[in-house]
Structure 1
Amino acid sequence: MGKNLALEGKESLRNDLKVQLPVPIDSKRYLMGKVAFIDVAIFSPFLIISGVLIYFFYQFGLLNQYTFIFSSFPSIVIIAFQMIKHPIRREIPYLRYKVIWNYKFKKREKEFFYRKGAFDMSDKQDARRKIGIKSTFADCYETTDKRFVRVFEVSSINLSLSNKSEKRSTLESFRVFMTTINFLDSIQISQIAQPINLTRHMQHMSKRQKKGSEDNPIKTMLNTGYTNFIENIQKSRELVTRKRYIVISKKISSDREKTLDEIDQLSQLLMTKVESMTFDHSSLSIKQLNNDDLVKLMYTCVDYDNAVSVGDHIVERANDRSSVTVGQNTAKDLINTLQKQLLEKVN
């Protein structure tokens, strides 16, 4: 009876094009009930310490309820922390996720700096050392573990607006893609939230505004208000767009040129496979990110808040080799001040 209900449940999920995700696998071996062998290994040292303390107090005639509680306290605390489990992931004990992980989080380094110029592995505060990306080269990330990583931006299809036949066709095309590509182990699929970029829209609107608002103060005021409104939208952290990426990597051999040729071949094959995926009324587009796009993506993932405010000036700041970096308005004021001083200076 239970088996039939389980089969009916799976069939119902299959008809609705849904999948029941499995519970996280618990690889621990249990001695009895909820007590695993690893729990016993953690308890044992503290139980031995408690036993030694109780024996010590007993030998000297000091054993009473207070010394007994004092001796047993370490064991009771460890057993309680180890047996209380995570509310969702039952295989993770309280001692691990609430004590050890919190301690490591508080002790870890929280401030890193982007050093311009040559990469130095001995500099522990260089952000590139932590994220594992040395530089962008030939439209690839060059990583600290000697790999070339190439990123592709892929369009998406909204399955929630599709009927069942369209969903089946889409999922079947994706299944064929996953089963026919021969370098699946080097592929990573990611979805990354990024700030809204309305720069092109603002440029388009500014061109249209210049045509008919030069002699009309009302239109000028409305256009200024609309421009400020768009800029505020871009700076808002709540408005984001989700972009989908496919990432492939290749280990760098002694011959760098050969490795680049190999990843170029994989790139062409991947783009062909994605573009050849057939759907009822739509298709996917795929674009390989160039060096500037890779810099923007890395900056957005590392420092999202500043990426919202900096916008398209990310690449300029990343490629700036000057030891001093200033904003656009500050740079203009500085140049005007220096020019004025040069003109007024008396030799």
Structure 2
Amino acid sequence: MSRNLALERKEQLRSELKVQLPVPIDTKRYLMGRVAFIDVAIFSPFLALSCLFIYIFYSTGSLNKYTFILSAIPSVAIITFQMMKHPVRREISYLKYKILWRYNFKKREKEFYYRKGALDMGDKQDARRKIGIKATFADCYETTDKRFVRVFEVSSVNLSLANKPEKRSALDSFKVFMTTINFLKSIQFSQIAQPINLTRHLQHVMKKQKGEDNLAKRLLNQGYRNHIEEIQKSRDLVTRKRYIIISRNIGNDREKALDELDQQSKLLMTKIESMTFDYSSLSIKQLNNDELTKLMYTCTDYDNAVSIGEHIIDRANNRSSVSVGENTAKELIDVLQRQLREKIN
């Protein structure tokens, strides 16, 4: 009976073009009920410790209900924490996710710095060492485990408004892509939230208002520009971009690895652009060095990426130990030039 219900459920999902995601697999072996062998292994030392305390109190003649409760506290606490489970993932115990994981989180290093120049693997606070990216090279990420990683930004197709034949056509096209690509194991699909970028729109507005003589219109345009800038700085307004990521081991020959990655990139872009979705199609763009730097900065430090915006690339390419803003730099240049003119040798 249950088998028939499962088959009916599968057919219903297939007709609706849906899939049922599997629950997390519990790999623990259970002794009885909810008690697993790993639980017994965790309980045992504390049970032995409680028994030892009880024996010591009994041999000294000081065993009573208070000393018995005191001796049993370690075992009861560990058993309770171990048998309490996560509200969603039942295979994870309270002891693990509320105590051990929280302790490790508080103990680990939390402040890292993105340093410029050559990567020193002995520098534990260099963010590049933690994220595994040494630098951007030839429109790739060069990782610390000796790989070239290339990132492609891909457009999306809204299937929620499509009818069943259009959905089936889109899924069949994606199925053909997945079955005909010969380096599928090295492909990664990713969706990353990023701050809204309204720079081009802002430039368009500034261009239109240039030369405006009407004071009311100038004030209105200035207020609109300030509103756009506030939108860009808002942390709650984001856009979701889709990426396809491929990688290649560098090995001993960097040029060969880069050539092979270029071939895979061309094949991937051709496959994506040839996918048909009735009246729509996909577009794909390979990220260059500046775009890769901005993506990395956004993923590692989202809050500052929102406030800095387009100046991320300037800061990343600046090799000076001192970084100043645009207005401050102009004032500094003016001061230095004035001092050179007025200096008496």
Equivalent in the alignment of 1:283? 281
- 5 Å-filtered alignment, 1:156-195, equals 156-195=156-195
Confirm or deny that 1:132 pairs with 2:138: no
* Structure 1 residues 68-118: Cα deviation after superposition (integer angstroms, max 9, x where no partner): 111111111111111100000000000000000000000111111111111
TM-score by length of 2: 0.97
Equivalent in the alignment of 2:252? 254
Equivalent in the alignment of 2:86? 86
- 5 Å-filtered alignment, 1:50-89, equals 50-89=50-89
Equivalent in the alignment of 2:317? 319
SS at match of 1:86: coil
Confirm or deny that 1:46 pairs with 2:52: no
SS at match of 2:171: helix
What is the CA RMSD across the aligned residues, in angstroms?
A: 1.2
SS at match of 1:159: coil
Displacement of 1:257 in angstroms is 0.4
Equivalent in the alignment of 1:104? 104
Equivalent in the alignment of 2:266? 268
Equivalent in the alignment of 2:198? 198
SS at match of 2:280: coil
Equivalent in the alignment of 2:226? 228
* Structure 1 residues 241-291: Cα deviation after superposition (integer angstroms, max 9, x where no partner): 100000011111101100101111111111111111111110000001010
Displacement of 1:343 in angstroms is 4.0
Confirm or deny that 1:150 pairs with 2:150: yes
Q: Structure 1: 5+ residue runs without aligned partners?
A: none
CA distance in 2, matches of 1:2, 1:102: 41
Displacement of 1:12 in angstroms is 2.0
Displacement of 1:328 in angstroms is 1.3
Displacement of 1:345 in angstroms is 4.3
Task: Report which stretch shifted further, 98-107 or 160-169.
Answer: 160-169
* Structure 1 residues 290-333: Cα deviation after superposition (integer angstroms, max 9, x where no partner): 10110000000011111111111111100101010011122122
Displacement of 1:346 in angstroms is 4.8
TM-score by length of 1: 0.96
SS at match of 2:101: helix
CA distance in 2, matches of 1:121, 1:283: 44
Q: Give the length in aligned residue pairs.
A: 345
SS at match of 1:6: helix
- Over the matched positions of the two proteins, sequence identity in percent amounts to 75
Confirm or deny that 1:331 pairs with 2:329: yes
Equivalent in the alignment of 2:5? 5
Q: Structure 2: 5+ residue runs without aligned partners?
A: none
Task: Report which stretch shifted further, 8-17 or 173-182.
Answer: 8-17
Displacement of 1:341 in angstroms is 3.6
Displacement of 1:232 in angstroms is 1.0
Amino acid of the structure 2 residue aligned with 1:30:
Y
